[in-house]
């Protein structure tokens, strides 16, 4: 019975669409909205996220043959970081602890948002699930008992879900031009690093979105068309490198050129569907969240998936993806030169994470910021998963690893700390996380939600 209840909670909580809908419904109920507005306001974010997911699935299915063509055509072999793959493996032996950490972590995120100045409610349920799995895996290697694994894991998940959006919220507000949403994605540290790099190398006034395009090339202002042309070029190069015989094995005998062109166009369609879903989410979620911010968790800020930010820098999305992938390739080559495990650039993390890094770099450094920030992110997507491999290999997960930066950094921190100091290091990290949550309550800050304001010298007035 308990297992069935846990499975039900996991099913609900790990579905971001339902989580967004429930949060929207709670906000509308708190505002005492009429029944028809509660219905439409609840279904809007659900439909929006399902559209986003459908677009993302379309993108992933289009990227799969591109990755195969690149690997075959350029003879690349190694480990491809993939969150879904390692979670599937880990769940076979860590399922109960993972689910308990997930439930406790989400409840504690709400509690921390209610009683501390970290007012960020993490709404990307599948990433919470992945982090719960990572914590369950790494903490299991420390030798502490199951109760402490769940308690420490739940505290760390809840704490990081509240803290990580706050760390770079001033950068996020630059990206959104003051729309009060936060980054709810565990690649966040890389995005904030990209913004910091952008602020050092470029000028936000020279934005990727202000690129001057001659009239005869004006059609490139249409993001879907520009994306299609860029990706068709990538697919054609990969198809030529792989050769027609190999293409026949993955295209059911289709012409290599037609196969490449159709997949490039499908990719662009997937991106367009993602944009449409994002607009639908924001249209209903932000107004509804005012109810939560006023009645349930005062001053609450929704932390949402990285793809939600794509509409704020549509040209930066493509620049970020390309530069991140180039960084990943160079990182792979450097690992090979120095005798490390080859981390083959995964196109999915380089698209979603690299694109987001490009958006954040552009917000503070314009075109140069988008290029430099996403390129560095791409390098880190090679080096950090390679550093995490030894930790996971010791747990029986050799040849697979997490990709996004927060996962890798937290896994390395916990794994290496335990190797040096034992389980006492884990307890120390948990205590430090709790202190980080509650110490700001003793300090006067500009806003009730920590860091939820513009830098007045750089962009504008204060966000309320």
Within a domain: residue 180? yes
Within a domain: residue 30? yes
- Domain with 77 in it: 2-442
- Give the residue carrying structure tokens 């509660």: 38
Question: pTM score, two decimals?
Answer: 0.79
Within a domain: residue 411? yes
Q: How far is CA 222 from the centre of its chain?
A: 25
CB 186 within 8 A of CB 127: yes
Within a domain: residue 23? yes
The CA–CA distances, whole Å, from 26 to 31, 39, 197 equal 9, 11, 38
Pairing of strands 301-304, 182-183: parallel
The winner for highest mean pLDDT among 15-19, 26-30, 99-103, 112-116 is 112-116
List all residues 6 or more positions away from 244 whose beta carbon is below 8 Å from its beta carbon. 256
pLDDT tens, residue by residue, 225-275 = 877 887 888 889 888 988 888 988 888 888 888 999 998 898 888 878 877
Count of structural domains within the chain: 1
Within a domain: residue 268? yes
CB 302 within 8 A of CB 353: no
Residue 7 has pLDDT above 80, yes or no: no
Residue 314 has pLDDT above 60, yes or no: yes
Within a domain: residue 192? yes
Distance in angstroms (rounded) separating the CA atoms of residues 259 and 236 = 9
Within a domain: residue 447? no
Within a domain: residue 243? yes
- Residue 345's closest CA among 359, 356, 334? 334
């Amino acid at each position: 019975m308990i297992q069935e209840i846990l499975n039900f909670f996991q099913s609900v909580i790990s579905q971001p669409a339902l989580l967004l809908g429930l949060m929207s419904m709670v906000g509308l109920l708190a505002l005492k909205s009429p029944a028809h507005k509660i219905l439409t306001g609840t279904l809007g974010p659900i439909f929006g996220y399902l559209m986003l997911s459908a677009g993302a699935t379309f993108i992933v299915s289009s990227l799969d043959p591109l990755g195969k063509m690149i690997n075959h055509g350029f003879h690349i072999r190694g480990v491809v970081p993939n969150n879904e793959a390692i979670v599937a493996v880990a769940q076979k032996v860590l399922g109960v602890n993972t689910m308990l950490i997930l439930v406790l972590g989400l409840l504690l995120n709400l509690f921390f948002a209610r009683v501390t100045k970290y007012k960020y409610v993490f709404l990307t349920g599948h990433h919470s699930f992945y982090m719960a799995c990572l914590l369950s895996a790494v903490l299991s290697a420390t030798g502490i008992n199951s109760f402490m694994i769940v308690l420490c894991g739940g505290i760390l998940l809840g704490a990081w879900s509240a803290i990580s959006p706050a760390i770079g919220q001033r950068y996020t507000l630059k990206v959104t031009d003051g729309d009060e949403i936060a980054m709810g994605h565990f690649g966040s540290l890389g995005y904030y690093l990209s913004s910091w790099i952008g602020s050092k190398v470029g000028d936000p006034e020279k934005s990727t979105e202000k690129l001057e395009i001659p009239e005869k090339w004006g059609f490139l202002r249409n993001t879907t068309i520009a994306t299609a042309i860029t990706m068709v070029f990538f697919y054609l190069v990969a198809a030529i490198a792989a050769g027609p015989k190999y293409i026949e094995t993955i295209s059911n005998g289709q012409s290599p050129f037609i196969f490449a062109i159709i997949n490039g166009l499908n990719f662009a369609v997937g991106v367009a569907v993602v944009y449409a879903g994002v607009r639908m989410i924001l249209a209903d979620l932000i107004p509804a969240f005012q109810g939560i911010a006023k009645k349930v968790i005062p001053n609450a800020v929704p932390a949402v998936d990285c793809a939600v930010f794509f509409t704020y820098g549509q040209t930066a999305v493509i620049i970020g993806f390309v530069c991140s992938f180039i960084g990943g390739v160079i990182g792979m080559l450097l690992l090979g030169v120095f005798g490390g495990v080859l981390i083959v650039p995964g196109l999915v993390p380089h698209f979603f994470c690299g694109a987001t890094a490009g958006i954040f770099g552009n917000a503070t450094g314009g075109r140069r910021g988008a290029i430099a920030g996403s390129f560095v992110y791409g390098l880190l997507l090679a080096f950090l998963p390679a550093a995490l491999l030894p930790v996971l290999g010791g747990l029986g997960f050799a040849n697979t690893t997490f990709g996004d930066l927060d996962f890798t950094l937290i896994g390395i921190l916990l794994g290496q700390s335990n190797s040096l100091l034992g389980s006492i290091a884990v307890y120390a990290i948990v205590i430090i996380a709790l202190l980080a949550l509650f110490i700001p309550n003793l300090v006067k800050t500009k806003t009730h939600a920590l860091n939820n304001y513009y830098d007045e010298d750089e962009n504008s007035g204060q966000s309320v």
